Amino acid sequence: MISAADIRTRFRERGFVVDDAYATGLEIMLALQKPLLLEGPAGVGKTESAKVLAEALQARLIRLQCYEGLDSMSALYEWNYPRQMLHARLSESSGSSLEQREAEIFSDAYLLKRPLLEALTQDQAPVLLIDEVDRADEAFEAYLLEVLAEWQVTIPELGTIRARHRPHVVLTSNRTRELSDALRRRCLYLWLPYPSLAQEIEILRARVPGVSEQLADRIAHLMQVLRGLPLQKAPGVAESLDWAMALMSLHREHLDARTLEQTLGCILKVHEDRAVVDEHRAALEPYLSDAPAALEAGGYGLATDFGIGTATPRP
């Protein structure tokens, strides 16, 4: 049994910061062997956390990406019809009995396992990530219920396949559509909010190697302000990581108005949101340093010291 504290350390080792509620959620998901439904705004690390969970448990990650029109054939299994037909034609004159030929045609060799069946037939319990389940339509959701409740799949030609080891199931949803109550009740539920200020600083320091304390602090503060604005697409953690990476690669150690202007594309993904940010510029000001523009003028300026310590020009 893995404790919540244990999960936190294992996630931490892999550069993923989780809070208590989340670690406890994962702990009881493993203990109760129930699926975990993660909801939250885009870019808070729902998918990423399932990947890290698989790594932490040293289990295989099987991913089912949901989309509109996803059907049971692409989620569960399908017979390889062309090969079956070919085999049927070729074995017509082989002299083997009908039963034999039938058993050959409907054997594992002609079964194309899709993610759900794949997850049920593993030797070691895998992590099954059912990503963006809200994108699949209601019919598929109902279908999923059966698999999640019984952990078995019935294939008419082969019989019932029962899970050898219950997979650790993580479902994620961006709430583009309301999920059914039936599905919700079969799952443990976790709402993943945007991280708090302290958490975000911790995440930045864990994920972006070499980011200075001051820069991480500034980025996190600005993100908190930006998420409070009436934006169409509020920036998530993914955006703040991207932004930190961008600033690092541009060798900007300070965040000033000009840098913000140049790198706004990392955080804002909708054109109209730029206007909103311009409108609320005053709210951002306190977190922008007013480094003299002259330093920035010559390309890299003095923001980097090229490894020789800060050079101070003599007066």
Nearest distance from residue 74's CB to another protein, in Å? 11
Contact string 9-48 vs another protein (x = CB under 8 A): ----------xxxx-xx-xxx-xx-x-xx-x---------
Residues 72, 143 contacting (CB under 8 angstroms): yes
Please report whether residue 72 would count as binding another protein according to CB under 8 A. no
Q: Determine how β-strand 127-131 pairs with β-strand 168-173.
A: parallel
Among 6, 9, 13, 69, binds another protein (CB under 8 A): 69
Please report whether residue 181 would count as binding another protein according to CB under 8 A. yes
User: Residue 175 or 258: which CB sits closer to another protein?
Assistant: 175
Among 159, 209, 230, 307, binds another protein (CB under 8 A): 230
N residues, the chain: 315
Among 187, 237, 241, 247, binds another protein (CB under 8 A): 187
Q: Using CB under 8 A, which residues numbered 125 to 154 contact another protein?
A: 137, 139
Judged by CB under 8 A, which stretch of 64-72, 109-117, 246-254, 255-263 contacts another protein? 64-72
Amino acid identity of residue 251, one-letter, is H
User: Residue 189 or 300: which CB sits closer to another protein?
Assistant: 189
User: Residue 138 or 305: which CB sits closer to another protein?
Assistant: 138
Total residues at interface with another protein (CB under 8 A): 47
Nearest distance from residue 51's CB to another protein, in Å? 20
Please report whether residue 185 would count as binding another protein according to CB under 8 A. yes
Residues 99, 81 contacting (CB under 8 angstroms): no
Judged by CB under 8 A, which stretch of 174-182, 202-210, 240-248, 299-307 contacts another protein? 174-182
Closest CA to 48 of 38, 35, 34, 58: 38
Looking at the chain, list the stretches that DSSP marks H as alpha helix, in order from N- to C-terminal side.
4-13, 20-32, 46-57, 72-75, 81-90, 98-105, 115-120, 138-150, 181-185, 197-207, 213-228, 237-249, 257-263, 271-279, 281-284, 293-297
Please report whether residue 103 would count as binding another protein according to CB under 8 A. no
Calculate the alpha carbon distances from 289 to 95, 128, 200, 311 in Å.
85, 45, 20, 20
Please report whether residue 292 would count as binding another protein according to CB under 8 A. no
Please report whether residue 165 would count as binding another protein according to CB under 8 A. no
Amino acid identity of residue 290, one-letter, is D
Write the DSSP symbol of residue 172: E
Amino acid identity of residue 176, one-letter, is T
How far does the chain reach from its first CA to its final CA, in angstroms? Answer: 65
Please report whether residue 92 would count as binding another protein according to CB under 8 A. no
Helix (H, G, I), strand (E, B) or coil at 62: strand
Judged by CB under 8 A, which stretch of 49-57, 58-66, 72-80, 248-256 contacts another protein? 72-80
Write the DSSP symbol of residue 78: E
| Distance from C-alpha of 221 to C-alpha of 215, rounded to nearest angstrom | 10
Contacts with another protein by CB under 8 A lie at 1, 4, 19-22, 24-25, 27-29, 31-32, 34, 36-37, 39, 67-69, 71, 73, 78-79, 81, 137, 139, 174-178, 181, 184-185, 187-191, 193, 196, 198-199, 230, 232, 272
